[in-house]
Structure 1
Amino acid sequence: MDPPSTPIMCRVELRRTALNSVLLLYLFGVFGLSQVCSIEVTTPSELHATKGDTVRLPCTFTSTASPTSKMRVSWSYTPQTGGPALVFFHFLSKAELPKTGQFAGRIKWQGTPARGDVSIYLINATLNDNGTYTCDVTNPPDVFGSPKSHTVLTVTPKPTTIRFSDVAVLMAFILLPSGLITFFLVGRMLCPKKRHNQSKAYRSPIEVTEGEETGVSPQAAYIKSTTCCDMCLMDSDEEEEYYSMQKMHPREEEYVESQC
């Protein structure tokens, strides 16, 4: 009876071994993999900029392990027209900026890995920078999960605008001198007419002396208006003045004598 019990015991032992193996695999999957699959990288889906701007390409990550010297960050670029991805930036203990190619001298590292920030700046954006930018972070032992994230950058031409300084310069060097010259010429044309009109302005009866309205000089008008009766009433001084004026205007003298 003893021999038949041996196979049964072996089967029980095999079942126990298999059960322990499954339990170990389960525990490893729950506790082991959860420790290496928790990294998460995040970037905005889209970014918009104007030509010539400095664009911030933000990228953050979360990890169960603190960043160490083994943490690696890389940025790659895929053109909008398509093609292979170009890795242009690396960070491994320190930033390795691009020295050649499209992004040479135009990338600035502004990340803080201890705070989960691995962002960069793109200086003087151009229309050729349109495309997809990928941020890739690995932080051992967290090497699985979602270590990459993509953002699409769209750069548009800068709109043409007239600055106030440009308008001021235009007015100072073109419009202002031409306006002064025009004002001077118009003034020269109008001033003679104004003086001519003033010379012919209406004069009141008080301003018009006797003899001016008939075109005769004041002295001649005085002699002409003198009658014989007036001459009789003149004193010696007035007679001398009268005769002196008669010598200057002999025609008026004849006219006075005819009245007498």
Structure 2
Amino acid sequence: MLKIAVHGSHRQLLVLIGLVASGVPWVRGITAYTSSEQEAVNGTSTRLKCTFQTSEPVSSSSVTVTWTFRPQGQSHEESVLYYNEKPIMVDSGLFHKQVEWAGDIMRKDASITLRNVKFSYNGTFTCRVTNAPDVHGRAGELRLRVVTSASVSEITILAAAIGGGILLMLIILIAVVTVKHYQRKHEDIEEHCPSEKGSTMCQVEEATHLHVMEEKAHFERPASRASASSLKDEGEKLCDNSVVVLD
């Protein structure tokens, strides 16, 4: 039995060597990747993501992409989009003028976008990719569920993201206002207090007192000027009276 197994393995090895020597290309598997399930809101657009992995060099002319759709509970498939150097849309059927190419072959992306999603899109979308000679492999299958509104989990995530952004903005605003307040307070202290080697020589209370005294002096100066002017006028009057008496 062991001898037969050895002979069998030897024969397979010889066949493999013969294929390589004859120039027959060695076919490797190509794999397309999609989400297993996706949710879309009725009347909106949604992107069906499909990426692929291949061991052969990729070019726009070597890769073909085929998207098909199988309605929920049915066995027949309907064409959605075909790509060969450029996207080729279907000219009739459920997806006529409802599909856009959203992929990039050079980045191994074969995604599409469905516009104006309908409840009739409930079902399984299949993404098949070939890259000659890499033509055999696994297709990606995505089950689409069309709903009337976004699920609670998506709404919760969106609300949390918005709330977190608003909270972050408030924290930044409070920090900026606080820094500005302390900077202004520090500038007032330096303005009213003498400094020596970069350190202030008085406290906040002393700076406030000096500021009040300056304001008081400012308001008293006009009164002092008025008193001096009155004294000057009185002196001139006395001089005039003296002249009259002498006459």
What's the TM-score once normalised by structure 2's chain length? 0.51
Aligned residue identity for 2:76:
P
Aligned residue identity for 2:128:
D
Q: CA RMSD in A?
A: 3.0
Aligned residue identity for 1:132:
T
Higher fraction of strand: 2
Give percent identity, aligned residues only.
Answer: 32
Aligned residue identity for 1:137:
V
Distance between the aligned counterparts of 1:20 and 1:126, measured in 2?
58
- 1:38 corresponds to: 29
Cα offset for 1:22? 4.0
Q: Which runs of 5+ in 1 are unaligned?
A: 1-16, 160-260
Distance between the aligned counterparts of 1:145 and 1:71, measured in 2?
13
Verify the 8 A CA contact 1:37 1:142 in the aligned structure 2: yes
Q: 1:56 to 1:28 in 2, by over 3 A?
A: farther
- 1:25 corresponds to: 15
The DSSP-based 3-state class of the residue aligned with 1:121 is strand
The DSSP-based 3-state class of the residue aligned with 1:91 is strand
Q: 2:54 aligns with which of 53, 59, 63?
A: 63
Cα offset for 1:27? 4.5
Distance between the aligned counterparts of 1:88 and 1:104, measured in 2?
8
Cα offset for 1:97? 1.4
Q: 1:60 to 1:20 in 2, by over 3 A?
A: same
1:49 aligns with 2:40: yes
What's the TM-score once normalised by structure 1's chain length? 0.49
- 2:89 corresponds to: 97
Q: 1:112 aligns with which of 82, 104, 109?
A: 104
Q: 1:85 to 1:28 in 2, by over 3 A?
A: farther
Verify the 8 A CA contact 2:79 2:90 in the aligned structure 1: no
The DSSP-based 3-state class of the residue aligned with 1:128 is helix
Aligned pair count reads: 142
Verify the 8 A CA contact 1:66 1:114 in the aligned structure 2: no
Q: 1:136 aligns with which of 114, 118, 128?
A: 128
Distance between the aligned counterparts of 2:126 and 2:137, measured in 1?
16
Superimposed CA distance per residue, residues 147-170 of structure 1 (whole angstroms, 9 cap, x where no aligned partner): x110000001248xxxxxxxxxxx
The DSSP-based 3-state class of the residue aligned with 2:93 is coil
Map 1:1-260 to 2 at 5 A.
Answer: 21-27=11-17, 35-68=26-59, 69-146=61-138, 148-158=139-149
* Structure index of larger Rg: 1
Superimposed CA distance per residue, residues 19-50 of structure 1 (whole angstroms, 9 cap, x where no aligned partner): 97543224478999995223111110000011
Aligned residue identity for 2:30:
I
Aligned residue identity for 1:25:
V
